[in-house]
A and B are shown apart, each in its own frame.
Chain A
Amino acid sequence: MSASPSFELERPRSVEEALDLLAAHPDSRLLAGGQSLVPLMTMGLAAPAVVVSLDRCAGVTGIETESDRVTISAMVTTRRIELDPDIGIRIPLLAAAAARVGSPHVRNFATLVGNLCHADPGSDLIPAAVCLDADLEVRSNRGRRQMPVDELIDGPFTTSLRPGEMAMAVRIPVPDRSWRYRYRKLVKRAGDLALACAAVLIRVEDVTIVEARLAVGGPLRRAVRVRGLETELRDTPVIDAVDIVSGGGWIEELADGLLGDHTAPVDYLTVMLPRFLAATVHEAVMQADGTEP
């Protein structure tokens, strides 16, 4: 039951020290909240030679608030995001998705950045981050770069991060108050990873949708924006939106990526997902001013 038969544990005190350790040990993994990596090691699904824990690393626990964006550092927990009053008001979609991660026990340690980099298809936060056009700040001991979270995930549990790189923080542009939002999650049991989830931001003027951002995750190789459908919804009367989304023509956009299994086969997913996303869009539209419908 021991988490891993043997690995070396490093607990750097600074980001520079952490980056040097990652550079020196190609077979190393960063440990943030540990809520995914520790169980993976327990199950023998991950066996890094070196684990670099950020538990006492300086400079990775901040939430930086600017007028047009919020920057959330590597060790900020999902529980903190869920309960942060400023995030709750300015980026309520993120707070709503964070509140659906696992259980309070998990959220007390699980981090936003760690969740993104773990790249679980059932993640709550990847669809939310992709919907919000969030960027990831990446560092190595050779330099820095920034990339959209949408370009981070290659597939299940794999990212485009290169050896020696560390995801430092997520930068999230604050949507202005005219955006309505909804995060919706389908699970078999409370606390499960998402069987399906959807993050929606939508702007309505009068009775017409002027802009929509739709992200779907769960039974997919990676959470995706449904960009064809976003275009189709533009300048559409609100009253037609649910029919368009539930019509499901857009599912072909995702068809390659659908991951069916014995409990939710592809035939079921192709029927369920259009209705699920339509319900999410409906709930977002019905929500007038940032309050839960």
Chain B
Amino acid sequence: MSSEPVGTLSELTAEGLFALLWDSMADLLGTAATATLLRRALRRASAQQPVLCGVATEREGLTYRYTVPPAWQQALDQEALAALRALTLELYPLLVEMTGPVVVRRLARVETLRRAALAPQEEVTR
């Protein structure tokens, strides 16, 4: 699991936030489940946020990897943040459906996700 990035929100990138989300999930569920659940959420969220079509997860050898739009490597902007929020809004209900409150509670404890308003809301984690 990668360590949580520190610094202000403006110092973060969308790629870094997505990596944090991926790593936090993969630490608990493994990369196979993480990739699949994110793919499901991406499919749903991309209708509202077409930029999410640029996020891909795929199997590479014995593990899974992801790619994000090149623009996500730049400083975090509002458009990328809105896309990530749309993604998490689709993802968290899926996680609750599959695992109850266990995974979303773990994600809710990730400080950087909380600062970026990407952490699950209290009603989801309950």
Pair from one complex: no
